[in-house]
Amino acid sequence: MAGSLDEAYELNKKKSSVICGGFCWLRLQNRTIQTLIDLSGLGLEKIEETKEQFEIGCMATLRSLETHEGLNRWAGGAFADSVRHIVGTQFRNCATVGGSIYGRFGFSDVLTLFLALDAQVKLYKAGVMPLRDFLDRKEDGDILVSVLVRKGQARISYESMRNEAVDFPVLTAAVCERGDKTTVSIGARPARAAAVTVENGYFAENVADRKAAAEKLIESLRFGTNMRASAQYRKYLAGVLLMRCLDRIDRERSLERKGGNETWN
């Protein structure tokens, strides 16, 4: 167990070293590991809330995203929606946010959501950077310390499609409407999630025009085929899930106009 981030960073310089999160995804790797670096004693499992942002420690579990009252109240339950179908409660009590983000997995539900939220990551050496930039960054042994989510008024929704209840997703989608921008994130393509940001007026309130705009946006993304679905089916699903996300945000907007809001359970 590492006694400090500095010690963990030095140990992680060796190619045969691996920083372990919840030990859930290591089995997917085909490599020889000589040193496992455990960060669980460094207090990085916390989710801290300030007036400006949420800071989610790299050792925070997916279960903590599901149950954190502040996160889900702000996001309208989107965090709970994004993880509730991941295997089972026992698994979500082990799998970590840091492992899910650092692994850059194509099937990652939480990566899809964090991209839509325009999240940032805090690295031990490189400091704070946009999640989008981190995903394109070459792995260099730096340590992902936390994920930062800016607060403020936002309308957020998340949808996914699975062939079986607890299987990997066939496709994921998240939408965040904030200020004059709307960010759409589509994941499990089966490549990792990709985000597109448009002006708020891009998606019209008229359903037919909104659907046409959604289809146009989907055309800008690439989809692939694997054992779970074909590229053509994924492209079709992307339109369906995106429309569901947009419809949910539209309902939330209507409730706000009437003086109410959707509740998170």
Encode 220-233: b = buried (16+ Cβ within 10 Å), e = exposed.
ebebeeeebbeeee
CA dist list (Å): 81 to 72, 76, 255: 9, 9, 20
pLDDT at 254 (0 to 100):
86
pLDDT exceeds 90 at position 205? no
pLDDT exceeds 70 at position 260? no
Domains of the chain: 5-38+47-257 (3.30.465.10)
User: For the residues 102-113, what does the mean pLDDT come to?
Assistant: 94
Q: What pLDDT digit, counting tens, does each position of 158-167 carry? A: 999 999 988 9
Q: What pLDDT digit, counting tens, does each position of 48-62 carry? A: 999 999 999 999 999
Residues pairing with 174 in the sheet: 158, 185
- Residue 181: which of 128, 255, 117, 245 has the closest Cα? 117
Q: What pLDDT digit, counting tens, does each position of 89-100 carry? A: 999 999 999 999
Residue scoring higher pLDDT (182 or 257) = 182
The model's confidence at residue 246, banded by pLDDT at 50, 70 and 90, is very high
Question: Residue 232: what residue type?
Answer: Q
The model's confidence at residue 263, banded by pLDDT at 50, 70 and 90, is low
